[in-house]
Homo-oligomer: A and B are copies of this chain.
């Protein structure tokens, strides 16, 4: 499996660095400005393949379109309920805390935790003074 290249996939990688946790539609809109003939299907297919291959993370939020994250490190997300921005927990979540959590979950449910999806919601620093 050689490393695959296509101009469109490069544009998608580019969009992911420019945009912050974008949806497929946002990636599509971004690329369209410079390359109008891009297809939304192409964006979805590439993002899906990249997610399957571990090159990007696919994030699912309740009642909202999926978002994509080029940061593939193990981290959580926090969404601002006011401005909608999504923040990464940049690795500073103490691993010991997560291990404790996993242990508590296993004790309570019997599930030997392999992975977790955690989304925190609240007001971000910018929105807090305003609201």
> Does A50 interact with chain B (Cβ within 8 Å)?
no
Question: In the assembly, what is the distance between CA of A90 and CA of B97, in Å?
Answer: 19
Which segment of A18-26, A30-38, A102-110 sits at the interface? A102-110
Q: How far is the CA of A72 from the CA of B60 in the complex (A)?
A: 22
Select one of B79, B81, B104, B128 contacting A89, CB under 8 A: B104
Q: Is A58 an interface residue (CB 8 A)?
A: yes
Smallest CB separation, A107 vs chain B (Å): 7
Roughly how many angstroms separate A78 CA and B97 CA in the complex, as a whole number?
Answer: 17
Kindly provide the distance from the CB of A123 to the nearest chain B CB, expressed in whole angstroms: 5
Q: Is the CB of B89 within 8 A of A109?
A: yes
Determine whether the beta carbon of A114 is less than 8 Å from that of B123.
yes
Establish whether residues A111 and B80, one from each chain, have CB atoms under 8 Å apart when the complex forms: yes
Flag whether A122 is at the interface (Cβ < 8 A): yes
Assess whether B114 is in contact with A122, with CB atoms less than 8 Å apart.
yes
Q: Kindly provide the distance from the CB of A6 to the nearest chain B CB, expressed in whole angstroms.
A: 25
Given contacts A102-B120, A116-B119, 9 further A-B contacts (CB under 8 A): A60-B60, A62-B117, A78-B109, A93-B101, A97-B97, A97-B100, A110-B124, A110-B126, A114-B122
